[in-house]
């Protein structure tokens, strides 16, 4: 299997998925982005790059990740069969390593002297610091002071991995300020540096590139499922923050019209409570954010809204342009799961199958748990288990008084 297949159709040469995507950035930055796109177009077709990425996926990440049939859970629910694509078993514990390795290899290919990024909960920071250690490129991660205090294990890991951690103290000192700070630093030397975006968001070519690197998930899963069951699943589901694990899973199934694709957004404390959810596709409107056209959650002043989710990896007021397009075309259905349902799913999967999921992934598990009883025992739901829940264990235990 080539490390990166060719997706001829989307996006177009200007980075648009229908009305979404593009490059809403100043002209000098557009030039830089076009340079990254050209370098990516070159590297993705090179045999040596394909081979290096494929062998890192196999020997470093531990791919292919297995598909596990959650038999006990399926039996208890008394409906469809639930299967889990185990991205939680990857090195560093989630799907993010897939695109971080790709971005680090691209940085090396382009002769960049430094990789820079922001991180919220620290998951992207750890995956990127890991990839940069492996490839041998200096890495600088900007993180809000508030998040630094909350996410101690990830902060420690980033330091051990040798990245430069920049504490951002301005404003609310969380993800948004970290993005602003990292971006300002990037703009000081966009020739020598590459900004490694953590999801399928931002200006073209990032939504395309990150999707391509993540598409290994769905290509593996589709072949594995075929081989095991001589058919395809009826439903394929994944949680959606920026949308990288979901698009990585869905891409291989887009042409399979009989397969229902369902993205699950965080309903947080309720869709009727502005600022207390992060369901961009369900409650937002087309707009612009971080250099792209996409669905956006906005407040009354037209600014990006405050957002919330029990899973910090999902609280983003925008979403990938391809998801915005797939929603409008109806090819993917977007549903939600609340904090409470997610917490239930987290505990249920832990206790019935012995798998502690990331709170992000538990949103997709919650959707499967809700939906399976409405289907029959010969129907199949494939869930992308995007990451493991070690990072969330203390929080959940404290919240539930365990
Ligand atoms: C970061 C993260 C997500 C959310 O990001 P997407 O780009 O929407 O995939 C989901 N699951 C896990 C485990 C994460 O770390």
Tell me: do 53 and 70 sit in the same domain. no
Q: For residue 82, list its beta bridge partners.
A: 381
- Apex 65 CA angle, 82 and 360, nearest 5: 60
Which distant-in-sequence residues (6+ apart) come within 8 Å of 142 by Cβ?
Answer: 116, 117, 118, 119, 166, 168, 178, 179, 181, 182, 185
Tell me: do 229 and 347 sit in the same domain. yes
- Ligand 1 centre and the CA of 135: distance in Å? 23
Last residue of a domain, one of 178, 211, 244: 211
Tell me: do 227 and 85 sit in the same domain. yes
Tell me: do 229 and 295 sit in the same domain. yes
Average pLDDT over residues 130-155: 94
- Ligand 1 centre and the CA of 313: distance in Å? 5
pLDDT for 21 equals: 98
User: Residue of the nearest CA to atom 5 in ligand 1?
Assistant: 241
Q: How far is CA 384 from CA 191, 263, 277, 298, 360, in A?
A: 36, 10, 22, 29, 11
CA distance 41 to 30: 16
Residue 332 lies in a domain: yes
Q: For residue 81, list its beta bridge partners.
A: 380
Residue 268 lies in a domain: yes
Tell me: do 37 and 186 sit in the same domain. yes
Which distant-in-sequence residues (6+ apart) come within 8 Å of 357 by Cβ?
Answer: 88, 345, 346, 349, 350, 365, 385, 387, 388, 389
Instruction: For 205-254, write each residue's pLDDT tens digit.
Output: 999 999 999 999 999 999 999 999 999 999 999 999 999 999 999 999 99
Tell me: do 310 and 390 sit in the same domain. yes
For the cut 70, the answer to whether the pLDDT of residue 198 exceeds it is yes
Share of the chain above pLDDT 70, in %: 98
CATH of the domain at 203: 3.40.50.1100
Instruction: For 339-371, write each residue's pLDDT tens digit.
Output: 999 999 999 999 999 999 999 999 999 999 999
- Count of structural domains within the chain: 2
Please state whether beta strands 139-144 and 164-168 pair in parallel, antiparallel, or not at all (unpaired): parallel
Q: Does the pTM exceed 0.85?
A: yes
User: Residue of the nearest CA to atom 2 in ligand 1?
Assistant: 313
Last residue of a domain, one of 170, 191, 211: 211
Last residue of a domain, one of 211, 242, 257: 211
Average pLDDT over residues 269-280: 96
Binding site membership of 214 for ligand 1 (Cβ less than 6 Å) = no
Tell me: do 86 and 102 sit in the same domain. no
pLDDT for 4 equals: 55
Domain that residue 40 falls in: 17-57+95-211
| The residue to which tokens 């700070």 are assigned | 181
- Ligand 1 centre and the CA of 124: distance in Å? 9
Tell me: do 171 and 307 sit in the same domain. no
CA distance 354 to 27: 52
Binding site membership of 243 for ligand 1 (Cβ less than 6 Å) = yes
């Amino acid at each position: 299997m080539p490390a990166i297949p060719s997706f001829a159709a989307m996006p177009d040469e200007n980075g648009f998925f229908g009305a979404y995507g593009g490059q809403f950035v100043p002209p000098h930055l557009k030039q830089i982005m076009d340079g990254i796109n050209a370098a990516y177009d070159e590297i993705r077709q090179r045999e040596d790059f394909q081979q290096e990425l494929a062998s890192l996926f196999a020997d470093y990440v531990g791919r292919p990740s297995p598909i596990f049939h959650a038999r006990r859970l399926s039996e208890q629910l008394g409906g469809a069969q639930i299967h889990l694509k185990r991205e939680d078993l990857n090195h560093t514990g989630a799907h993010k390593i897939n695109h971080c390795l790709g971005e680090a290899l691209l940085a090396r290919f382009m002769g960049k002297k430094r990789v820079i990024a922001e991180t919220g909960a620290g998951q992207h920071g750890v995956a990127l610091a890991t990839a940069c250690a492996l490839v041998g490129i200096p890495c600088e991660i900007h993180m809000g002071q508030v998040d630094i205090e909350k996410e101690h294990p990830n902060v420690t890991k980033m330091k051990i991995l040798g990245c430069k951690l920049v504490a951002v103290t301005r404003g609310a000192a969380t993800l948004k300020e970290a993005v602003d700070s990292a971006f300002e630093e990037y703009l000081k030397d966009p020739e020598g540096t590459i900004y490694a975006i953590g999801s399928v968001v931002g200006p073209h070519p990032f939504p395309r590139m990150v999707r391509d690197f993540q598409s290994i998930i769905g290509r593996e899963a589709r072949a594995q499922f075929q081989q095991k069951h001589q058919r395809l699943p009826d439903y394929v589901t994944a949680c959606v923050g920026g949308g990288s694990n979901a698009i990585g899973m869905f891409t291989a199934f887009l042409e399979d019209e009989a397969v229902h694709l369902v993205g699950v957004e965080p309903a947080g404390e309720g869709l009727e409570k502005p600022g207390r959810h992060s369901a961009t596709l369900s409650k937002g409107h087309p707009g612009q954010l971080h250099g792209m056209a996409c669905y956006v959650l906005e407040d009354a002043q037209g600014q990006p809204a405050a957002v919330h989710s029990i899973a910090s990896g999902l609280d983003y007021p925008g979403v990938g342009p391809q998801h915005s397009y797939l929603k409008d075309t109806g090819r993917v259905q977007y549903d939600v799961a609340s904090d409470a349902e997610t917490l239930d799913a987290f505990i249920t999967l832990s206790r019935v199958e012995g798998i502690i999921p990331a709170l992000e992934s538990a949103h997709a598990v919650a959707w499967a748990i809700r939906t399976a009883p409405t289907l029959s025992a010969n129907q199949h739901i494939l869930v992308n288990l995007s990451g493991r829940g070690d990072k969330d264990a203390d929080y959940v235990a404290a919240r539930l008084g365990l």
